[in-house]
């Protein structure tokens, strides 16, 4: 294809997206669109399965049977969501194993928030309330993103995730209403998870390299800073409702902008965690690698068995 022809195709392609048409796997697409989508969808998938680990840490210790089954179902959902997203990514011509390889080698990124430890039961509440809350804000607009398989996966994810945040908030609410010890546990968790949750919505607009392109392809509908503002504005009243204090001295209502002003985010910490220096980066990655490597003989066995059965069927047919 000549350069001019490609340019022409690209123009038609961008017009289709501008008209809100969906792009499907076999449609022509610019290489950059494919690559950007592989990167974003796989990061998203990796975040789901790495995200299973901090919460999985508390399944065996959940304080009641009701909490145990809810948490188990939630973490299982995350496996499901990882699976939907890997499948969406595979329609772009990359296999799940290649994507795993990128994760395991440290080449691919996942959401940094999962590199923080879950050290008390209240952390499970805080994750559901804050981390899933921030994730939902990020994800809902993706239900109408331009790439069909991604949009469809996100519709399913959002539908299933609606219980996750409620599950977390209910845990926090119960703790906040409980004994002084429980309330302190909840406040401590909020203190530790608040700032990482704000960081989770991505670097400030000034620092964000992908925003303009992502807006055009509907991978983003609002900028990171807008999303962050939305998250803060909806979360602060929830904290007040259950009598917990947001750990930010500069937080105050700004009548003029109709939203909260808030303190400086420690972006240095953010970049340190992104670079792999968070408290649990090593543990999370090695848990994933471990599961994969220890599972190899199982996956191989299933393939060998399937092949034997296939051969047997063939022999019987002859």
- Helices 224-241 and 180-200 cross at an angle (nearest 10°) of 170
Q: For another protein, which is the closer residue by CB, 266 or 300?
A: 300
Q: For another protein, which is the closer residue by CB, 215 or 301?
A: 301
The mark string for 186-215 relative to another protein (x by CB under 8 A, - otherwise) is: ------------------------------
Token pair 């501008």: residue: 18
Q: Does 79 bind another protein (CB under 8 A)?
A: yes
Alpha carbon distance 284, 250 (integer Å)? 33
Q: Which tokens sit at 173?
A: 């609410």
At its nearest, how many Å lie between another protein and the CB of residue 194?
22
Q: Does 80 bind another protein (CB under 8 A)?
A: yes
**Among 6, 69, 215, 241, interactor with another protein by CB under 8 A:** 69
Binding segment (CB under 8 A) for another protein, from list 201-209, 218-226, 243-251, 303-311: 303-311
**Site residues (CB under 8 A) for another protein, limited to 5-44:** 24, 26-28
3-state secondary structure the chain: CCHHHHHHHHHHHHHHHHCCCCECCCCCCCHHHHHHHHHHHHHHHHHHHHHHHHHHCCCCCCCCHHHHHHHHHHHHHHHHHHHHHHHHHHCCCCCHHHHHHHHHCCCCCCCHHHHCCCCCHHHHHHHHHHHHHHHHHHHHHHHHCCEHHHHHHHHHHHHHHHHHHHHHHHHHHHHHCCCHHHHHHHHHHHHHHHHHHHHHCCCCCCCCCCHHHHHHCCCCCCCHHHHHHHHHHHHHHHHHHCCCCCCCCCCEEECCCCEEECCCCCHHHHHHHHHHHCCCHHHHHHHHHHHHHHCHHHHHHHHHHHHHHHHHHHHHHC
Are residues 87 and 149 in contact, defined by beta-carbon separation less than 8 angstroms? yes
At its nearest, how many Å lie between another protein and the CB of residue 260?
31
Q: Does 243 bind another protein (CB under 8 A)?
A: no
Q: For another protein, which is the closer residue by CB, 70 or 201?
A: 70
Size of the site for another protein (CB under 8 A): 67
The mark string for 250-279 relative to another protein (x by CB under 8 A, - otherwise) is: ------------------------------
At its nearest, how many Å lie between another protein and the CB of residue 58?
9
**Site residues (CB under 8 A) for another protein, limited to 128-167:** 152-153, 156, 160
Q: For another protein, which is the closer residue by CB, 78 or 248?
A: 78
**Among 61, 257, 275, 282, interactor with another protein by CB under 8 A:** 61
Q: For another protein, which is the closer residue by CB, 178 or 243?
A: 178
Residues in contact with another protein by CB under 8 A are: 24, 26-28, 49, 52-53, 56, 59-69, 72-73, 75-77, 79-80, 82-84, 86-87, 90, 95-97, 121, 152-153, 156, 160, 171, 174-175, 178-179, 181-182, 287, 290-292, 294-306, 308-310
């Amino acid at each position: 294809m000549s350069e001019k022809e490609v340019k022409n195709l690209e123009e038609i392609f961008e017009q289709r997206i501008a008209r809100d048409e969906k792009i499907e796997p076999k449609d022509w697409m610019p290489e950059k669109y494919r690559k950007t989508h592989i990167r974003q969808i796989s990061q998203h998938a990796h975040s789901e399965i790495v995200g299973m680990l901090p919460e999985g840490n508390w399944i065996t210790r959940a304080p009641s049977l009701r909490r145990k089954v809810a948490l188990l179902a939630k973490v299982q959902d995350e496996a499901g969501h990882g699976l939907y997203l890997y499948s969406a990514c595979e329609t772009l011509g990359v296999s799940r194993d290649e994507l795993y390889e990128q994760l395991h080698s440290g080449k691919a990124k996942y959401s940094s928030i999962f590199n923080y430890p879950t050290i008390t039961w209240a952390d499970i509440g805080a994750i559901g309330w804050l981390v899933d809350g921030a994730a939902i804000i990020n994800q809902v607009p993706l239900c109408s993103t331009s790439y069909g398989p991604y949009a469809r996966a996100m519709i399913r994810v959002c539908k299933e995730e609606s219980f996750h945040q409620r599950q977390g908030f209910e845990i926090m609410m119960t703790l906040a209403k409980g004994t002084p010890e429980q309330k302190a546990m909840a406040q401590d968790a909020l203190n530790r998870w608040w700032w990482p949750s704000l960081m989770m919505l991505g670097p400030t607009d000034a620092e964000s390299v992908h925003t303009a392109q992502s807006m055009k392809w509907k991978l983003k509908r609002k900028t990171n800073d807008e999303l962050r503002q939305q998250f803060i504005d909806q979360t602060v009243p929830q904290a007040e409702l259950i009598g917990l204090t947001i750990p930010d001295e500069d937080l105050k209502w700004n009548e003029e902008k109709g939203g909260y002003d808030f303190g400086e985010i420690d972006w240095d910490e953010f970049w340190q965690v992104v670079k792999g220096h968070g408290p649990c980066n090593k543990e999370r990655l090695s848990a994933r690698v471990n599961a994969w490597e220890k599972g190899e003989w199982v996956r191989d066995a299933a393939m060998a068995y399937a092949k034997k059965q296939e051969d047997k069927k063939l022999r019987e047919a002859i």
